[in-house]
Structure 1
Amino acid sequence: MLWMWLVVETRKRFVLLNQFLIKLISIPERLQVNNIKATNKCEVRNEIKRITALYNELCDVVDLINDVFGAGLLISVIFTISYVLLYSIILIDFTVFKIGSSSDVWIIYTSIVWLIENFVKIMALALAGENLSSEANKTVNVCYGLINKLENSEEIRQKLIFLIQQALDRKPCLKASGFFVVKSTMTGFIVGSITSYVIVAVQFLNEMQTHVTQ
């Protein structure tokens, strides 16, 4: 799936960006004003400026992914919910209401397999979105850690604050055409929707079964 590959590759770029920032934190002698040289100070400032530009470009990539794949992702999630609902009702028909004969047991196994497949698809989408969002938001924590290691370097501190503000303003995340954000909370929304529909369907099937027996 192209969408999944793009999300994974974009997350890797955020990981590399955060690792580079962490390397700045792990070299405290470059950031201590009492010992820092003007050349090192300028170098660190330029590195942070370059990282800020890269972060903005990665946010643009995430926005582009949302623009290109948002509608398709929304349709995919809707179809996945429909399939889960359909196979759930089929499973209930053949297990609870005993519709069909013993030779139709293959329908039960097929429904279980398709239910698992669709739930795995939902979890994979949610996990990919959650990992990207958490890695992008990690930049803010890394910057705060870097600021706490600074002593009196106001110029570098301002560069880091600007990066933090950019990260908080952009908030890169994956969206399905603006209807919902693709992250772990999406699974709760989908499971809640499916549960409500299944309950209504079971009540309807129960009433039909009652009328037939009468």
Structure 2
Amino acid sequence: MVLFYYLYSDKEILESHGNIIYKIWFILYITLEEVFWLYMVILINEIVLNLKEKYEVLNQKFVQVLNISVENKFMSKDVDLMTLKEIKKIKFLYRYINDLVERTNDLLGWPTFCLMAYTMLDALTILNCLVVGEYMQLIFTDTLELFAIIIYTVYIALSCDFTSYEGKKIITLCYDLEDKFPMKSPIRKELLEVAVQAKHFPPKFVSMGLFDINRKILLSMVATITTYVIAIIQFNSVL
């Protein structure tokens, strides 16, 4: 649909170039651009949401193991040993998932950076055209494209934020459940170690080591775009 809007708004451009090859390349470029960004967004979100599901399963298993120990009123040594073994296993799996997050950052850092940079540049270009009053015939279709890119960016930022939150939830679970065990209990000590580890090495998504990908980045992008728009307005008012 966006492609047809492009072709309609750029009718003068296409008519000024009678070469059919130019028209084909123009259509191909627009199509490939839309397909590329859509594919990248789907790929990134599938990976991020898969990690989120792993954290959810791990947290559920964590609560289930501890509740079994709490429900056992006599707290035999066998139960304690079994619980400690399960907690250490969960701690290992938590580190493993965090390692997957780091590998995801290495693999998908540059696509997320390019997407967010493209979003900001596209927004500034359109706003500059509105302020200057140039290329107004392309504003409608460019705005449609920008709207799609913004949706992609917001979706990725929120997915990463929700996944990070789910990974940090184990800290709250440790502090909530430790009160159910005696002070000198080895299980309580192990819970504190898990909480400290998760607190010092929380899962987070980073774009090329420059900034964290979460809901806060959306406000930062809005603030940056607003700053540049003000500069554009002031510059044009001087001219």
Fold-level similarity (TM above 0.5): yes
Alignment of 1:150-169 (within 5 A): 150-152=181-183, 154-169=185-200
Taking the aligned partners of 1:125 and 1:182, their CA distance within structure 2 comes to: 8
Deviation larger for 9-18 or 159-168: 159-168
User: Are residue 14 (structure 1) and residue 45 (structure 2) matched?
Assistant: no
Give secondary structure in 2 for the equivalent of 1:12.
helix
RMSD: 1.9
Alignment of 1:134-213 (within 5 A): 134-152=165-183, 154-208=185-239
> Does the CA contact (< 8 Å) of 2:44 and 2:156 recur in 1?
no
Give secondary structure in 2 for the equivalent of 1:149.
coil
1:22 alignment partner AA: V
2:105 alignment partner AA: N
Q: Which has the higher contact order (CA 8 A, sep 6+)?
A: 1
Q: Which residue of structure 2 lines up, in the alignment, with residue 5 of structure 1?
A: 46
Distance 1:87 1:39, change over 3 A: same
2:84 alignment partner AA: R
Cα deviation digits, residues 103-159 of structure 1 (max 9, x gap): x3xx33223322322221221121012111111110100111110111356211121
Matching residue within 141, 151, 154 for 1:123: 154
Distance 1:100 1:163, change over 3 A: closer
Taking the aligned partners of 2:186 and 2:63, their CA distance within structure 1 comes to: 19
Cα deviation digits, residues 166-204 of structure 1 (max 9, x gap): 111211100011111001110111111111111112223
Moved over 6 A (4+): none
> Does the CA contact (< 8 Å) of 1:70 and 1:175 recur in 2?
yes
User: Are residue 74 (structure 1) and residue 106 (structure 2) matched?
Assistant: no
> Does the CA contact (< 8 Å) of 1:66 and 1:176 recur in 2?
yes
Taking the aligned partners of 1:88 and 1:124, their CA distance within structure 2 comes to: 23
Residue-pair matches, total: 197
- Give the unaligned 5+ runs of structure 2: 1-39
Matching residue within 76, 90, 98 for 2:129: 90
TM-score normalized by structure 1?
A: 0.84
> Does the CA contact (< 8 Å) of 1:126 and 1:184 recur in 2?
yes
1:6 alignment partner AA: I
Deviation larger for 184-193 or 110-119: 110-119
Q: Which residue of structure 2 lines up, in the alignment, with residue 24 of structure 1?
A: 65
Identical residues among aligned pairs (%): 25
